[in-house]
Amino acid sequence: MEGTVARSDDAITAVEQTIARSDGAVSQAEGLIGRMDPMVDVFQEPLLALAPALRRLAASVDPDEVEAVVAFIDRLPQLMTHLDEDILPVIGSLGSVGTDVHDLVDTMQDLRHVVKGFPGSRLFRRRGAEEIAEDEQEDEHQEVAEGR
C-alpha cells in the first residue's frame, strides 16, 4: 500500500505543478488580452472595411512588384527633392512661354513688313530662295552619293 500512496503523492505533486504552470499561463493570457482589447476596439472597424481590398491586393501583387514599391519608397525623399528643386521651378516658368513666343512671332511679322518696304527686297528674296534651292539640291546629291 505504501507504493500506492507514494505514487498517489507523486501524481498529486505533478498535478499541483501543472496547476501552478497553468495559473501562470492564464495570468499571462489575461495580461495579453487586457492589452489587446483596446486595440481590437480601435482597429476592428477599419480592418473589416479594408478586408476586401486587402484580399484583392494580396491576390494580385507579385513579389517583384513589392520589391519595386519598396525601392520606390526608398527613393521617394530624393525624388521629392528633385521635384521641389528642379522640376517645379521649370514648370512655374513655363507660364510665360506662350506669351514670349507670341511676342516673338509679332516681332518677326514686324521685321517682315520692314524688310518688304526696302527697295529691291524682292530681288533679295528671290536670290535667297535660289540659294536655298541650290543648297537643298546639293544635299540631295550628297545623300544619293552616300547611299542613304
**pLDDT, one tens digit for every residue, the chain (148 residues):** 788 888 888 889 999 999 999 999 999 999 999 999 999 999 999 999 999 999 999 999 999 999 999 999 999 999 999 999 999 888 888 877 778 888 899 999 988 887 777 777 777 778 888 888 888 888 888 888 887 6
Sign of CA pseudo-dihedral 63, 64, 69, 70: positive
Q: How much is the pLDDT for 148?
A: 62
Give CA angle at 105 (101, 109), nearest 5°: 170
3 contact partners, CB below 8 Å, separation of at least 6? none
Q: How much is the pLDDT for 119?
A: 79
Distance, in Å, from the CA atom of 121 to the CA atom of 112, rounded to the nearest integer, reads 10
Q: How much is the pLDDT for 49?
A: 96
118 contact partners, CB below 8 Å, separation of at least 6? 124
pTM for the complete prediction?
0.39
